[in-house]
Amino acid sequence: MTKNIFISCDHGGFYLKEQIVDYLLKKSFKIIDLGTKDPSSVDYPDYSNVLVDKIKNNLDSMGILLCGTGIGMSISANRHPHIRAALCTDEDMARLSRQHNDANVLVIGGRTTSLNSAKKIIDAFLSTEFEKGRHTKRLKKIS
């Protein structure tokens, strides 16, 4: 099991983040909520960067980022070499992002994803291991 799960969002992902935190706490995950703490407008790179810094210092941890569509958070997070952020809209994408890409950050659209779908995506992401093998060589090419 992952040591820590850091979660962060902007205002567009705030309401879904709150529900996801509750869901993961009930499943006994260790969640570190990095904000935002209310739905007031904020800049998504600020909240992405806080999570990215935490992952850098806790390489065995995972992250979850949320914004309105997930696109802004994906772009912002993937600017960092130690981050492999995957914007996932279904369980298959989440599973494959872990199996083939060793994604360490899951990105979800807070305005485009229902809570029910988000739970399934998160469960798939957190329960899937990296397959290594041929995928390791490919990841080294983007490192």
For residues 104 and 98, give the distance between their C-alpha atoms in angstroms, rounded to a whole number: 8
pTM: 0.94
Range of the domain at 62: 5-142
Residue 65 has pLDDT above 70, yes or no: yes
Strand partners, 66: 9, 108
**Contacting residues for 134 by C-beta, under 8 A, at least 6 apart:** none
* Count of domains observed in the chain: 1
Q: What pLDDT does 143 receive?
A: 74
Structure tokens at 21: 């935190």
Which residues are known catalytic residues? Answer: 100
By C-alpha distance, which of 70, 69, 32 is closest to 51?
A: 32
pLDDT attached to residue 59: 82
CATH code, domain carrying 80: 3.40.1400.10
User: CB-hemisphere CA count at 13 Å for 80?
Assistant: 21
